[in-house]
A and B are shown apart, each in its own frame.
Chain A
Amino acid sequence: MADYPINDQMVEMFIYETSQNIEQLEQSVVMSEAEGFTPVAVNEIMRNMHTIKGSAAMMMYTAVSTLAHAMEDLFFYLRERRPERVDYSVLSDLVLDGIDFIKVELHKIKAGEEADGDASLLIATIHEFLAYVKQTNETNETNEASAAEAPTAKPEMSRFDGSDGPAEPVYEAVAFFQDGCEMENVRAFGIVHGLSELATVLSHEPKDLVGDETSAEAIRKGGFRLRFASAKPVEELRAFLDGTLFLQSLELFRADGEAPPAPEATLGMPQPADRQAAKALPKDSAEYGQPAQSMISVNVDKLDRLMDLVGEMVIAEAMVTQNPDLKGLQLDRFNKAAQLLHKITSELQDAVMSIRMVPLTATFQKMHRIVRDMSRNLGKEVRLRLVGEETEVDKNVIQHISDPLMHLIRNAIDHGIEPPADRQKAGKPAFGTVTLEAKNAGGDVYVLIKDEGRGLSKAKLLAKARENGLLAKPESEMSDKEIFGLIFLPGFSTKDSISEYSGRGVGMDVVSSNLSQIGGVISVDSEEGSGTTIMLKIPLTLAIIDGMTIRVGSSRYTVPTASIVQSFRPAETDIIRDPDGNEMILVRGRCYSIVRLHELYGVRSDTSSFTEGILVMVEHDGAAYCLFADELLGQQQVVVKALPEYIKRMGNIRGLAGCTLLGDGSISLILDTGALNGAIR
């Protein structure tokens, strides 16, 4: 493949950088299509495209880099000539196709496969389109094309016709990379490699970039010196060099005959020193290349480790301050210091948690693309309205809701929003609106997907469920909520035909299973004729829950406080036993079944009489039951940890969501009240 070593770290960096650029690119294109391709937007697109091209070329993913190059050509033309007659929807389609291609390649690279996609067809189409745009616009533009513009546009076309002979001016460049960017030698090689497209590289210092390990150090100290000859205008060369990733400063001057430091001689460009000073300002670097780095990306594993450590520290702190050895001592100063320690640890815990919080913005904005593609393919006019996208949730939560949101938006457009003609007949505006809203409420985040389309028909849902034998209880006893809930059953679809987007009855099943994995709850509300609202209730974070710790024998269990209704000690007379030995209790006229935890999990316990233990009533999805435990140990926030991989491999344990460490270092098992309910039945 490449003639220099490409290691995993570089690949990882490439994937990370490129996926970010691709995401930005996709958004700018979709936005621009709706709001018009402004010069600012075109510049933004070009910047992203250029970075993708550069890093792909460095990593030798030629298909990606040539494709990006072709797209860049297209936007270069748009930027320089501002043609009037361009079919922007075709253009967007082309670019989005290209983006999809790169995404597929990225996936392959991520999976460790060869990026072997063939982009030549796409590139040919892009060239064709560019030629077409040129043809339709050039004729009446020739007069306008000013002398200043001509030389910049022309070299772009003549890029492939080789060198222009010996008369090429010679340039010298000195490049410094940002501190700590690492692998300076490989990055320098990237410059040489990329520059060979534009110029003839004569020499560079250090000479051996790849084989010699010390060259990175040399570049770090003395910069990367490069001599090359090129017929291209200096702006273009500078633009190319400035586009290099992690570039800190760059000096470029002509070296042939003319005095190198004389600024006037070098085509009126600013003095190197000025340039360098300007470069130091972060604002300038945004002009072409990497934006200023006020964000860093951290591997999630490291954050998890940090959180584990903080969790341990909180436990250790409790072990010190509540140490039994301190009992009965007069410890005024110790207590004061302990209080300070406690304040700092809890602040630290909050800070670590907040690092993991990510705004929903990126997840929400991705939906623009889906809305755009679908409304076009289905001949519907749909607008997506985002509300509260700045709401923050835990990183893990984001990963789990991205897919469900996509399915729900698809459903809203495919099933909900009617075709324009039908909408007008119903007295609604021709374009439908889908609202994606996020809001915070206590420890939960609510995500609402609202459409004002045709709504769900209860009669139709029931008929379909009857047909497929999915009804669990008599129709007359079902509440609206339960009827609407039918759409989440696997294999349930009210659509008669399967379309590109929906109809197989899989999507909603994915939604509900994905959500239940993160402890989310979904509910549907709909009015026939005026729209459907789907509400997702998601815990703010998966990592910490409020829990009530209970004791059964020597084992401890934690029940999420959110699902506890009440706890009480019953009188023996309240207990009802049916002939099968099932125990139930009557509370305020309702009958609840009792689960003896010690029996369910086979734990030895001395408490078997109800008058000695305690009943905890829990509710999940409207179904309530009582857990019987020995005693309540208290309520506290616990850090949720997954059960060890080996235990998970042994098979799913009924009703366990994970485990946690208590203040004394002992382990408590976290009960999953929903799964437990299913296990009892």
Chain B
Amino acid sequence: MSQLEERLSEPYEEDTLQGKYLIFKLGDESYGIEIRFVIEIIGLQPITVVPELPEYIQGIINLRGKIIPVMDVRLRFKKPFREYNDRTCVIVTDIEEMTIGLIVDSVSEVLAISEAEIVSPTEMNKLYSSRYIKGIGSVGEDVKLLLDCDKLLQDKDLALLESL
């Protein structure tokens, strides 16, 4: 009954990941992504351009034989494109059972942010009207913008239509 044990241990594992965020940077701003979505962090790989995709999907990369799409998070947030350098990272994530790489300026650390430190989006609506942020975590003096991963993958136009 080893399967049973595995199943029992699953929620336990979830617990240790709960409340932990991988912090990455886009320019001066710090963002947090829930660590349970993150598989690994890799350096930038040669990207194959796939035609007819939105600009923020840079293309596909070969991750040890597995082909995954990569998204430039800067472009996704409508920030200006910045040339990739040796600090540029790809955060490989597993969201909604799809593997996707997020290209970010740099990765800094893993932080535990408790519920109490997170401001819910309703309160911050006027400050940050971004659809992709589900909360703001304040750790010490810094402010981390916490990503809503599911919304990140949704089609931009579709989300726009829904908000109308």
A binds B: yes
Binding site for B on A (CB under 8 A): 5, 7, 9, 183, 213, 216, 308-309, 311-312, 315, 554-556, 600-603, 641, 643-647, 649-651, 653-654, 656, 659, 661, 665-669
- What is the distance, in angstroms, from B99's C-beta to the closest C-beta of chain A? 7
Q: In the complex, are the beta carbons of A555 and B49 less than 8 A apart?
A: yes
In the complex with contacts A7-B4, A653-B53, A659-B60, A641-B155 CB distance below 8 A: no
Within 8 Å CB of B99, what residues of A? Answer: 644
Closest to B51 in A: A601
Within 8 Å CB of B69, what residues of A? Answer: 644, 646-647
In the complex with contacts A644-B68, A644-B98, A667-B62 CB distance below 8 A: yes
Within 8 Å CB of B4, what residues of A? Answer: 5, 7
Q: In the complex, are the beta carbons of A647 and B46 less than 8 A apart?
A: no
Docked pose: A5 CA to B1 CA in angstroms: 11
Q: In the complex, are the beta carbons of A309 and B65 less than 8 A apart?
A: yes
In the complex with contacts A9-B3, A644-B99, A601-B65 CB distance below 8 A: no
In the complex with contacts A644-B68, A644-B99, A646-B69, A555-B48 CB distance below 8 A: yes
B22 at the interface (CB under 8 A from A): no
Interface residues of B in 1-19 (CB under 8 A from A): 1, 3-4
Closest to B49 in A: A555
- What is the distance, in angstroms, from B67's C-beta to the closest C-beta of chain A? 6
Q: In the complex, are the beta carbons of B64 and A650 less than 8 A apart?
A: no
* Number of chain B residues whose Cβ lies closer than 8 Å to a Cβ of chain A: 27
The contact string, 1 if C-beta is below 8 Å from chain A, for chain B 37-59, is 00000000010111111100100
B103 at the interface (CB under 8 A from A): no
Contact of A667 among B51, B53, B67, B155 (CB under 8 A): B67
- What is the distance, in angstroms, from A30's C-beta to the closest C-beta of chain B? 38
Closest to A316 in B: B65
In the complex with contacts A644-B68, A646-B100, A650-B155, A7-B3 CB distance below 8 A: yes
Q: In the complex, are the beta carbons of B52 and A601 less than 8 A apart?
A: yes
In the complex with contacts A603-B49, A666-B46, A667-B67, A650-B62 CB distance below 8 A: no
Q: In the complex, are the beta carbons of B60 and A667 less than 8 A apart?
A: yes
7 sampled A-B residue pairs with Cβ under 8 A: A308-B65, A600-B51, A644-B98, A645-B98, A646-B100, A647-B57, A653-B53
Docked pose: A651 CA to B155 CA in angstroms: 10
Apart from A644-B98, A661-B62, 8 more pairs, CB < 8 Å: A213-B1, A643-B67, A644-B67, A647-B57, A647-B69, A653-B52, A667-B48, A667-B60
Within 8 Å CB of A312, what residues of B? Answer: 64-65
Docked pose: A312 CA to B66 CA in angstroms: 9
Instruction: Give the number of residue pairs across the A-B interface with Cβ within 8 Å.
Output: 78
Docked pose: A647 CA to B61 CA in angstroms: 12
- What is the distance, in angstroms, from A306's C-beta to the closest C-beta of chain B? 12
- What is the distance, in angstroms, from B125's C-beta to the closest C-beta of chain A? 29
Within 8 Å CB of A669, what residues of B? Answer: 48, 50
Binding site for A on B (CB under 8 A): 1, 3-4, 46, 48-54, 57, 60-62, 64-69, 97-100, 153, 155
Contact of B100 among A309, A315, A554, A644 (CB under 8 A): A644
In the complex with contacts A646-B100, A646-B153, A311-B51 CB distance below 8 A: no
Docked pose: A603 CA to B46 CA in angstroms: 16
- What is the distance, in angstroms, from A603's C-beta to the closest C-beta of chain B? 7
Nearest 10 CB-CB pairings of A with B:
A601-B51, A312-B65, A667-B48, A644-B69, A645-B98, A646-B98, A653-B52, A646-B69, A647-B69, A308-B65
Within 8 Å CB of A183, what residues of B? Answer: 1
In the complex with contacts A312-B65, A645-B98, A667-B67, A650-B53 CB distance below 8 A: yes
Q: In the complex, are the beta carbons of B60 and A647 less than 8 A apart?
A: yes
- What is the distance, in angstroms, from B161's C-beta to the closest C-beta of chain A? 15
In the complex with contacts A9-B3, A216-B1, A308-B65, A647-B153 CB distance below 8 A: no
Within 8 Å CB of B60, what residues of A? Answer: 643-644, 647, 659, 667
In the complex with contacts A555-B49, A644-B98, A308-B66 CB distance below 8 A: yes
Within 8 Å CB of B53, what residues of A? Answer: 647, 650, 653
Within 8 Å CB of B49, what residues of A? Answer: 554-555, 603
Within 8 Å CB of A641, what residues of B? Answer: 67
In the complex with contacts A7-B4, A216-B1, A643-B60, A666-B66 CB distance below 8 A: no
Contact of A603 among B51, B62, B97, B155 (CB under 8 A): B51
- What is the distance, in angstroms, from B58's C-beta to the closest C-beta of chain A? 11
Docked pose: A315 CA to B67 CA in angstroms: 14
- What is the distance, in angstroms, from B63's C-beta to the closest C-beta of chain A? 10
Docked pose: A214 CA to B62 CA in angstroms: 46
- What is the distance, in angstroms, from A48's C-beta to the closest C-beta of chain B? 29
Docked pose: A669 CA to B98 CA in angstroms: 20
- What is the distance, in angstroms, from B12's C-beta to the closest C-beta of chain A? 19
Within 8 Å CB of A600, what residues of B? Answer: 51
Within 8 Å CB of A602, what residues of B? Answer: 51
Docked pose: A555 CA to B58 CA in angstroms: 13
- What is the distance, in angstroms, from B5's C-beta to the closest C-beta of chain A? 9
Docked pose: A654 CA to B51 CA in angstroms: 9
Within 8 Å CB of A603, what residues of B? Answer: 49, 51
Q: In the complex, are the beta carbons of B50 and A647 less than 8 A apart?
A: yes
Docked pose: A516 CA to B25 CA in angstroms: 46
Contact of A666 among B48, B52, B153 (CB under 8 A): B48
- What is the distance, in angstroms, from B121's C-beta to the closest C-beta of chain A? 25
Docked pose: A661 CA to B49 CA in angstroms: 14
Docked pose: A653 CA to B52 CA in angstroms: 6
Within 8 Å CB of A650, what residues of B? Answer: 53-54, 57, 155
Q: In the complex, are the beta carbons of B51 and A653 less than 8 A apart?
A: yes
Docked pose: A9 CA to B61 CA in angstroms: 35
Docked pose: A644 CA to B4 CA in angstroms: 32
Within 8 Å CB of A665, what residues of B? Answer: 62
Residue of A5, A9, A600, A659 with most chain B CB atoms under a 10 A cut-off: A659
- What is the distance, in angstroms, from B92's C-beta to the closest C-beta of chain A? 12
Docked pose: A667 CA to B70 CA in angstroms: 13
Docked pose: A661 CA to B45 CA in angstroms: 14
Within 8 Å CB of B51, what residues of A? Answer: 600-603, 653-654, 656
Q: In the complex, are the beta carbons of A659 and B67 less than 8 A apart?
A: yes
- What is the distance, in angstroms, from A598's C-beta to the closest C-beta of chain B? 10
Docked pose: A630 CA to B111 CA in angstroms: 49
Within 8 Å CB of A9, what residues of B? Answer: 3
Docked pose: A7 CA to B8 CA in angstroms: 13
Within 8 Å CB of A643, what residues of B? Answer: 50, 60, 67
Q: In the complex, are the beta carbons of B65 and A315 less than 8 A apart?
A: yes
Within 8 Å CB of A659, what residues of B? Answer: 48, 60, 67
Within 8 Å CB of A555, what residues of B? Answer: 48-49
Within 8 Å CB of B66, what residues of A? Answer: 308
Within 8 Å CB of B46, what residues of A? Answer: 666
Closest to A216 in B: B1
- What is the distance, in angstroms, from B101's C-beta to the closest C-beta of chain A? 10
Closest to A7 in B: B3
Within 8 Å CB of B65, what residues of A? Answer: 308-309, 311-312, 315, 661
Docked pose: A309 CA to B64 CA in angstroms: 9
Docked pose: A650 CA to B157 CA in angstroms: 11
Within 8 Å CB of B155, what residues of A? Answer: 649-650
Within 8 Å CB of A668, what residues of B? Answer: 48
- What is the distance, in angstroms, from A642's C-beta to the closest C-beta of chain B? 8
- What is the distance, in angstroms, from A478's C-beta to the closest C-beta of chain B? 34
- What is the distance, in angstroms, from A13's C-beta to the closest C-beta of chain B? 12
Docked pose: A92 CA to B64 CA in angstroms: 54
- What is the distance, in angstroms, from B35's C-beta to the closest C-beta of chain A? 21
